[in-house]
């Protein structure tokens, strides 16, 4: 009797070695070091990827990268993925799994259906003898809900997928290929969520694409007002800063997303506009009960969002520090963290009373870094630093 145990692939090809592709390589080499990883990108990028340990070898051509691969990851903008699918199909072996990491799934899956096996096609034995199906590799759409504000192999991180939701969109959810890919993805720390491509695009439009456009709109509106009154940007901190953080995302990546998911995005924009119109009406009709209900509902829903998983951009972990207003106070803190080998992602001076105390917000990439920072500063600066909380 054959074992039902799922075996990990021996050879993986990663096409595109930016943040996601590079992080996949680093994560696979860290958690599954026996897997041989082949990379394909520009010569300079491949050289940096090899030096970082994200790939074992670089391929000179696309064919060389995929011709013996068990799994192929396409880690590029959506337009590039669409154009490469027919070429990949010519070179990849029939037993392979081909997957992508694009933020829009329906258009990619539709294109993949032309060149790959995306679902089982029932045929009678006599039909198979007369007209056998050409052996094809299997395609499974994917979208890791993780990323970075930076771009390029330099920002790749082996821990990027830890606790991140990784969406897979197979047409046949129970086949062996889908289970095999899910097992590989889980092995690098991600949480697999299986859903249909159309459902994915509808959800992504609401929880990822809409917030991006709102952040851009809020930032540009404030910028327009700031032209006549610099106080707008001078006071743009706290909640405004947090809500508009993703406004810094690069447009080249978003250009493809907006293009290929425009119908879903347009629909959710209309829904948001309707919500704003109702709120505006309640505001002028003096209906505080209605507004109170909205606030309560929003809080309840916000509190229900899982705190243990990452979204499209991984959250930062904040630590608030009260420190005496003395010369060199900030320098002593940053020097202590530097000596402890802790990377500070962001610093903000929230408030200060001259001659008394100042409040700094320090942001770190992980809660573990925040805890290490706390221990380092308490040890170095004794009790001159007080702490509110780490989020």
Cβ-Cβ contacts under 8 Å for 229 (sequence gap 6 or more): none
Q: Does 325 lie in the same domain as 295?
A: no
DSSP string, 174-187: TSHHHHHHHHHHHH
Question: In angstroms, rounded to a whole number, what is the distance separating the alpha carbons of residues 168 and 166?
Answer: 7
Q: Would you state the structure tokens that stand for residue 25, as one six-digit string?
A: 């390589």
Tell me which of 163, 195, 227 is where a domain ends. 195
pLDDT tens column, 344-357: 877 777 655 554 55
DSSP string, 354-389: TTSEEEEEEEESSHHHHHHHHHHHHHHHTTSSEEEE
Q: Does 212 lie in the same domain as 188?
A: no
CB 287 within 8 Å of CB 295:
no
Q: Does 231 lie in the same domain as 166?
A: no
Domain assignment present for 311: no
Instruction: Output the CA–CA distances (angstroms, integers) from residue 291 to 243, 275, 277, in the order listed.
Output: 20, 12, 13
Q: What's the pLDDT at 242? A: 81
pLDDT band, very low/low/confident/very high, at 208 (cuts 50, 70, 90): very high
Q: Does 204 lie in the same domain as 190?
A: no
CB 168 within 8 Å of CB 142:
yes
Query: What proportion of the chain, given as a percentage, has pLDDT over 90?
Result: 52
Q: What's the pLDDT at 130? A: 41
Tally of domains in the chain: 3
Q: Is the predicted pLDDT of residue 223 greater than 90, yes or no? A: yes
Domain assignment present for 310: no
pLDDT tens column, 98-131: 999 999 999 999 999 999 875 554 444 444 344 3
Residue 322 belongs to domain with CATH number: 3.30.70.260
Q: Does 19 lie in the same domain as 144?
A: yes
Quote the pTM value: 0.74
The DSSP call for residue 352 is: E
Q: Does 300 lie in the same domain as 350?
A: no
Lowest mean pLDDT among 48-52, 330-334, 364-368: 364-368
Residue 221 belongs to domain with CATH number: 1.10.3660.10
DSSP string, 6-20: PPPPSEEEEE--SHH
Q: Would you state the structure tokens that stand for residue 21, as one six-digit string?
A: 């592709």
Q: Is the predicted pLDDT of residue 385 greater than 60, yes or no? A: no
**Chain Cα centroid distance, residue 65:** 25
How high is the mean pLDDT of the chain? 84
Tell me which of 281, 304, 327 is where a domain ends. 304
Question: In angstroms, rounded to a whole number, what is the distance separating the alpha carbons of residues 91 and 254?
Answer: 30
Cβ-Cβ contacts under 8 Å for 310 (sequence gap 6 or more): 145, 146, 162, 163, 164, 165
Beta-bridge mates of residue 324: 357
Tell me which of 304, 328, 345 is where a domain ends. 304
pLDDT tens column, 135-186: 688 999 999 988 766 678 988 888 888 888 999 999 776 688 999 999 999 9
Q: Residue 112: what are its φ and ψ, rounded to 5°?
A: -65, -30
The DSSP call for residue 105 is: -
Whole domain around residue 358: which residue ranges? 317-390
């Amino acid at each position: 009797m054959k074992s039902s145990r799922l075996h990990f692939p021996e050879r993986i090809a990663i096409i595109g070695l930016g943040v996601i592709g590079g992080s996949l390589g680093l994560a696979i080499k860290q958690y599954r070091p026996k897997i041989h990883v082949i990379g394909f990108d520009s010569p300079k990028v491949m050289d940096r990827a090899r030096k970082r340990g994200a790939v074992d070898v670089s391929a000179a051509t696309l064919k060389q990268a995929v011709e013996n691969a068990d799994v192929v990851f396409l880690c590029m903008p959506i337009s590039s993925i669409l154009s490469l699918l027919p070429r990949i199909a010519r070179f990849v072996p029939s037993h392979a799994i081909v997957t992508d990491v694009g933020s829009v799934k329906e258009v990619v899956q539709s294109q993949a259906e032309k060149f790959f096996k995306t679902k089982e096609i029932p045929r009678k034995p006599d039909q198979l003898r007369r007209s056998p199906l050409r052996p094809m590799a299997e395609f499974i759409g994917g979208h890791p809900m993780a990323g970075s504000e930076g771009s390029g192999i330099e920002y790749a991180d082996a821990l990027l997928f830890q606790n991140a939701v990784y969406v897979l969109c197979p047409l046949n959810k129970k086949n062996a290929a889908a289970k095999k890919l899910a097992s590989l993805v889980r092995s690098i720390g991600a949480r697999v969520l299986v859903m249909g491509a159309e459902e994915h695009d509808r959800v992504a439009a609401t929880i990822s694409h809409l917030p991006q456009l709102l952040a851009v709109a809020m930032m540009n509106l404030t910028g327009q007002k700031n032209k006549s009154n610099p106080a707008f940007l001078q006071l743009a901190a706290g909640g405004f800063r947090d809500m508009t953080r993703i406004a810094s995302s690069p447009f080249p990546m978003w250009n493809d997303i907006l293009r290929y998911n425009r119908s879903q995005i347009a629909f959710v924009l209309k829904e948001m506009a309707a919500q704003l119109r109702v709120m505006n009406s309640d505001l002028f009709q003096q209906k505080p009960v209605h507004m109170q209900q909205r606030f309560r509902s929003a809080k309840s829903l916000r509190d229900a969002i899982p705190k243990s998983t990452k979204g499209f951009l991984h959250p930062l972990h904040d630590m608030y520090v009260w420190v005496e207003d003395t010369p060199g106070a900030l320098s002593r803190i940053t020097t202590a963290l530097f000596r402890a080998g802790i990377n500070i992602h962001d610093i903000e001076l929230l408030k200060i009373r001259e001659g008394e105390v100042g409040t700094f917000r320090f942001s770190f990439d992980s809660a573990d870094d925040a805890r290490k920072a706390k221990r380092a500063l308490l040890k170095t600066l004794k009790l001159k630093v007080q702490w509110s909380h780490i989020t």
